[in-house]
Structure 1
Amino acid sequence: MSDDSAYKYRAFGLVIDSDIELSELEAVTGQATPDVTIVLAEWLGTLPDPGQPPIFDYCSPRGIEMIWPGVAAFLIADNSRIEVMPYPDIPRHFLAFPILGPVFGWLLECRGLLVLHASGVVVDGACIAFLGDKMAGKSTTAAAFLRRGARLITDDLLAIELPDSGDAIVRPAFAQLKLADDAATEIAVPGSQPLPLVFDGFPKRQHRLTEMEQRATRLDRLFILERGAQLPGIKPMSPAQAMVALMRFSYSVRFASAPADPEKRARHFQACAAIARQGGVAILEVPARLEALDAVVDLVLQDLGRDLPHG
């Protein structure tokens, strides 16, 4: 990878040198030592036939192999290098979807971060995150806060570090938010730009934001979303209940077939336990009606002791 052809970005507190353009990320100018490199490389003799299910090999002598037949094979060679072998004629922009999702999710876990499947925003210096099942409305709830002037810190991958101080710190991701078209119409986020669908039939569209939170920020609240209530509500969770929820919505559960590494599993358990003990984890009851989201925002702001103007 030559300096002339490389792209340089910043995300999750890391400087990334890449052979592949990742327009989702913040570009870095000038000299900066990379923490992670992403390179095009041929490391498989033969790519699996398209149409096969995804293949994950966590015990390869080369590293961790993650293959989506018909798209690309990815090798996490160590905690700072990702090798990419695309299928012939695959558009390069298709590669960002797995790189910035499962591949980076695993890389961040390998680098010692706790990764939760969540969206997060910063409100007047307070960082709050929304966890939940698929289609629970994590991104949609975040969008309702952005419409009122909050700043996005992440969507999908909530990367948390726990320094010696004990405070959980969220690293900023990149300025995009996934929304279904009906949610994007109802909740117009100022300055957002809808992008083409990743592929036909995909249920959500990426929306590029003009700005986001750039600083690592202490995590103040974690809300587990429950949809379908008649009125918004907040129900506190005990540390034991919070621990179960954090384990359930950890990004690593997507890699359940990975071999158990006692040291990493212990570190993950301890991180979840530390956050659960700090408190601030609660159930957020969210009505299914999109027009009710402003009332949800008001309730959370009251809980935080913050204020945002109505749009």
Structure 2
Amino acid sequence: MHYVLPVYLLLDPRFEFLHGSAVDIGGKGVAFLADAMGGKSTLADFFIQQGHDLLTDDQLGIVQAQGDKLLALPSVPFVRPYREFEDLGHPVERFAAQPLPLRAIYLLELAEGPAQVIPLTGLPVVMALTKNRRLVMSKKQADLAKARFSCLAKLAATVPVAKLRVPRDLSRLPEVYETILAHLGEPYDSL
């Protein structure tokens, strides 16, 4: 479903898909975007273990709702914090059943040193989101491509986007978790 549904919705200009995972934090979607093996699913799985609901893993669907609100779409209740492509991953009990407004998008960057959030604005955000798009269209679909680029530009203008420097060490996931919650202004013990 992570791959079939986006292909089916590809021709509907209301939808955009990014390569990312998302969780529910405080009733809003928080997304983690990265290249393959960049830590998206691992981070989402850690948030689930801390009591957050999974919104989606690997394919972040975004829909423009009434009032031009951008919502993150729930996908299937499975997460794959490992790389076995022949299965859906392991099922999760905590799953967001409804679309949620996007609160923030983090672009994961594996790095040395402490976990760190670096806010981004303007053209670098649009470029990063465009690069992260999961589905690419041909030149024959120019009108649809314009609509999708417009959606990404709106996303960049209305949803905070930040680079998240993540240590490549699973034992430091609590540090990354606390860094994200601190950036969002959430108390650590809110669960």
Structure 1 length-normalised TM = 0.57
Map Cα deviations across residues 31-81 of structure 1 (whole Å, 9 max, x no partner).
xxxxxxxxxxxxxxxxxxxxxxxxxxxxxxxxxxxxxxxxxxxxxxxxxxx
Query: What code does the residue aligned with 2:45 have?
Result: A
SS of the counterpart of 2:104? strand
Task: Indicate the residue corresponding to 1:271 in structure 2.
Answer: 151
8 Å CA contact 2:102–2:159 kept in 1: the answer is no
Deviation of 1:305 after TM superposition, in Å, equals 1.4
The 8 Å contact of residues 2 and 76 in structure 2, kept in 1 or not, is answered as no
Runs of 4+ off more than 4 Å: none
Structure 1 residues 136 and 282 mapped into 2: Cα distance closer, same or farther (>3 Å)? same
Partner amino acid for 1:225?
Answer: L
Which residue of 124, 141, 148 corresponds with 2:50? 148
1:294 paired to 2:174: yes
CA-based RMSD: 2.0
Instruction: Evaluate the alpha carbon distance shift between residue 276 and residue 209 of structure 1 in structure 2; reply closer, same or farther with a 3 A threshold.
Output: same
Report the alpha carbon displacement of residue 308 of structure 1 after superposing the two structures with TM.
Answer: 4.0
**Structure 1 residues 281, 198: CA separation in 2 closer, same or farther (over 3 Å shift)?**
closer
Match of 1:127 in 2: 29
Deviation of 1:180 (Å): 1.9
For residue 261 of structure 1, give the secondary structure of its aligned residue in structure 2: helix
Aligned equivalents of 1:217 and 1:205: distance in 2? Answer: 23
Q: Percent identity?
A: 25
For 2:129, which of 240, 246, 266 is the aligned residue? 246
Match of 1:33 in 2: none
Q: CA deviation at 1:218?
A: 0.2
Tell me which of 168, 175, 200 is aligned to 2:70: 168
CA distance in 2, matches of 1:222, 1:284: 9
Amino acid in the other structure paired with 2:108: L
More helix, by proportion: 2
Question: Are 2:12 and 1:111 aligned?
Answer: yes
- Normalised TM-score (structure 2): 0.91
Query: Shift of the alpha carbon at 1:285?
Result: 0.5
Flag the structure with more relative contact order, 1 or 2, with Cα contacts below 8 A and sequence separation at least 6. 2
